[in-house]
Amino acid sequence: MAIKRRASSVLALSITTALLAAGCGGGGESEAPSKDELFKNPVTLTWWHNASQDGPGKTYWEKVAKDFNTLHPTVTIEIEGIETNQLQRTRLPAALLSNDPPDIFQSWGGGEIREQVEADYLKDITDQAKDEVANIGGAAGIWQVDGKQYGLPFRMGIEGIWYNKEMFAKAGIAAPPTTFDELNEAVTKLKAINVVPIAVGAGDKWPAAHWWYNFALRACSVDTLKKASLELNFDDQCFVKAGQDLKAFIDTKPFQPNFIATPGQNDPTSANGLLANGKAAMELMGDWNKGTLDTVAADKEALSKFIGWFPVPAIAGSPGDPKAALGGGDGFACAKNAPAECVEFLKYIVSPEVQKGYAETGTGLPVAKGAEAGVADPALKSILEATTEATYVQLWLDTAFGSTVGNAMNDAIVAIFAGNGTPEKVVEAMKAAARK
């Protein structure tokens, strides 16, 4: 009732407080500090990450901060775990607008980091983190803007299809599909044994949108995709083709009924829950899925026995690179005015030793060379292999294109899923959003 006035003023209020505090943000150029100055004076680093829920991820970051403090007693680290959407959509933008952002915080790369760099929010770590960048390799590029490094990933992986091996065996599917024709066959066979062939969390929009991304990846050449990310140019017909292919695929009814209201993860009624509890045979999802499936599975042991992973199938005769994959990661970046110790901590997080420990938590795939031994889970191992084999890794399109185009694109794709969108409208929505 009237009490809910706050809903309307939330936006205005948070923006206001942010701007009141804004004023001036000074900034010197980045320079690598001399070795003697580091760890001389006591500093406190504030660290915002998205492992807000109790679990192995959150516990591990606490340990990392403590270990770093033991290593360098002058550095105290204050951690705040914040739920992803809140962190990315409200808390961080507001804190960055103010003069008091956290020193080190979650960064998703792509279009977002480009905007943050243009607003002069981030510390240039090119010189200080040279060795680490070399050790991470290509994946670090997502956190680069115009050749300079502004953040480092700690998790990176490509997406693929998580599937129930037992159901595949029961349906008589000999090997995981490698082409979409085989995938369609598998869908038919799975329907025959009365299970949901593919679970999709369309309710959360992005899990559905990722199907379109994959059709785009197959329909578009690598150059077209690169150009789209940089210039937000979506004139190529391959983006319409992606929607047409998606529509044809949806028409074969591979998904659970009423998928439009199914959440992606986090509860038993979600797409994750359907796969984890033996109600659906497949789900398209990223490398973090192992951890999220675990949290919704009624019988974790059964899950670990039947769960498998295979790359998104290729489409015969399409111009896209069949070995290209969609992927993404999580990284951290340092605020412009953060102390130099921040970068040292960032480097510590991506060091092979810490990365190995991260891999052992099973919450995602590490990026640093030398950490591979920490990956024990067979499904994660197959993702790691496929990631190394991928000829090109395209960042999630909504991240690559930035939130505004990403959001409009996802909405228009979901409309196709709901039956009232068209392939052309997706491209129109993307173009309109690029002008917003």
Which H or E run includes 130?
Answer: helix 130-136
* 430 makes contact with other proteins (CB under 8 A): no
Considering only 61-69, 220-228, 235-243, 414-422, which stretch makes contact with other proteins by CB under 8 A?
Answer: 414-422
Q: Which residues contact 428 (CB under 8 A, 6 or more apart)?
A: 412
Count of residues near other proteins by CB under 8 A: 55
Considering only 42-50, 71-79, 162-170, 257-265, which stretch makes contact with other proteins by CB under 8 A?
Answer: 257-265
Interface positions, 28-67, toward other proteins (CB under 8 A): none
Q: Can you list the positions of beta strands (E) in 84-150?
A: 104-107, 144-145, 148-149
Q: From the list 108, 121, 212, 309, which residue makes contact with other proteins (rule: CB under 8 A)?
A: 121
* 316 makes contact with other proteins (CB under 8 A): no
* 424 makes contact with other proteins (CB under 8 A): no
Question: In the bound complex, what is the minimum distance in angstroms from residue 182's beta carbon to other proteins?
Answer: 29
- Going residue by residue from 200 to 219, which x/- string records binding to other proteins, judged by CB under 8 A? --xxxx--x-----------
Q: Can you list the positions of beta strands (E) in 16-175?
A: 43-49, 75-81, 104-107, 144-145, 148-149, 151-158, 160-164
Q: Is 253 helix (H, G, I), strand (E, B) or coil?
A: coil
Q: What are phi and psi of 325, to 5 degrees?
A: -140, 160
* 260 makes contact with other proteins (CB under 8 A): yes
For the record, the structure tokens of 227 come out as: 């150009």
Question: In the bound complex, what is the minimum distance in angstroms from residue 101's beta carbon to other proteins?
Answer: 12
- Going residue by residue from 147 to 186, which x/- string records binding to other proteins, judged by CB under 8 A? ----------------------------------------
Written as one string, the DSSP assignment of 206-247 is HHHHHHHHHHHHHHS-HHHHHHHHHH----STHHHHHHHHHH
DSSP-assigned beta bridge partners for residue 155 = 330
Which H or E run includes 325?
Answer: strand 324-334
* 79 makes contact with other proteins (CB under 8 A): no
Are 330 and 355 in contact by the 8 Å Cβ rule? The answer is: no
Binding site for other proteins (CB under 8 A): 1-5, 7-13, 15-16, 19, 22, 85, 89-90, 93, 96-97, 115-116, 118-121, 202-205, 208, 257-263, 269, 402-404, 407-408, 410-411, 414-415, 417-418, 420, 433, 436
